[in-house]
Amino acid sequence: MAEMAASGESPEILFWVGCAGSFDDRYKAVTQAFVKILNKVGVSFAVLGPEEACTGDPARRAGNEFLFQMQAVANIQVMNGYEVKKVVTACPHCFNTIKNEYPALGGTYDVIHHSQFLQELINKGKVVLQGGGEFKGKKITFHDSCYLGRANDVYEAPRDVIKALDVELVEMKRCRTKGLCCGAGGAQMFKEPENGKKDINIERTEEALATGASAIAVGCPFCLTMMTDGVKNKEREHDVKVYDLAEMIAKDMGI
């Protein structure tokens, strides 16, 4: 972003990478896949790079409002400084926070999740799919992330993206408004769960495996981690893969 601003360019969108997208080895691949799609399609975009900081979502959900607002205000100052109008992110937590919670602190942007952005690209014919590639005809199930689904009522965009791949989309018993959390939201990603009889991601993974799908599609870095761990726990990593939507599209496009 800094480079573009220095050369007087103002990109159409800001791609908010998020901490997982920047640091988590698995999710970095998602960031790369999404960026390749953007480059291929020729979308004018920028990232903040080292100027980006955590949105503050986990701090706020863990109760630390001060820390949240410090992070938020710093981010808003950066974004307002670059006169950012439109933000796209591959993380539902970042999406929810920037879209719904930054306006109260002076940061109002048009924020969309990458599933919505991909859906737009497909609908506009900018992304032309090759018919599913390795996914063609396979059973794929989609795991709703809470912060995309219930929190923001985005249920169909990710499904439309998957369907565009010419696959068989199979639903889990609990889906859409009734979707079961992967267990990582509300800052749970950053601590061990409380005592109980089972981990939430195992419960959810069992449900996903019960569909007989060969891949579990997600749209959230935390869900990706939790479901991947769940599949490993069930020793099914050889025949069931967990992918982000952007990865599936990029694979199909051969990039």
Residue 22 lies near another protein (rule: CB under 8 A): yes
Q: Given the rule CB under 8 A, which of 130-138, 148-156, 163-171, 246-254 is the region that contacts another protein?
A: 148-156
Residue 156 lies near another protein (rule: CB under 8 A): no
Q: Which of 9, 10, 81, 104 binds another protein (CB under 8 A)?
A: 104
Q: Given the rule CB under 8 A, which of 65-73, 113-121, 130-138, 238-246 is the region that contacts another protein?
A: 65-73
Residue 147 lies near another protein (rule: CB under 8 A): yes
Instruction: Kindly report the three-state secondary structure assignment for every residue of the chain.
Output: CHHHHHCCCCCCEEEECHHHHHHCHHHHHHHHHHHHHHHHHCCCEECCHHHCCCCCHHHHHCCCHHHHHHHHHHHHHHHHHCCCCEEEECCHHHHHHHHHHCHHHCCCCEEEEHHHHHHHHHHCCCCCCCCCHHHCCCEEEECCCCCCCCCCCCCHHHHHHHHCCCCEEECCCCCHHHCCCCCCCCCHHHCCCCCCCCCHHHHHHHHHHHCCCCEEEECCHHHHHHHHHHHHHCCCCCCCEEEEHHHHHHHHHCC
Residue 196 lies near another protein (rule: CB under 8 A): yes
Residue 250 lies near another protein (rule: CB under 8 A): no
Least distance CB 177 / another protein (angstroms): 5
Nearer to another protein (CB atom), residue 5 or residue 62: 62
Q: Which of 188, 205, 225, 228 binds another protein (CB under 8 A)?
A: 188
Least distance CB 63 / another protein (angstroms): 3
Nearer to another protein (CB atom), residue 146 or residue 240: 146
Residue 67 lies near another protein (rule: CB under 8 A): yes
Least distance CB 225 / another protein (angstroms): 12
Map the footprint of another protein across residues 43-62, applying CB under 8 A: 47, 49-50, 52-54, 56, 58-62
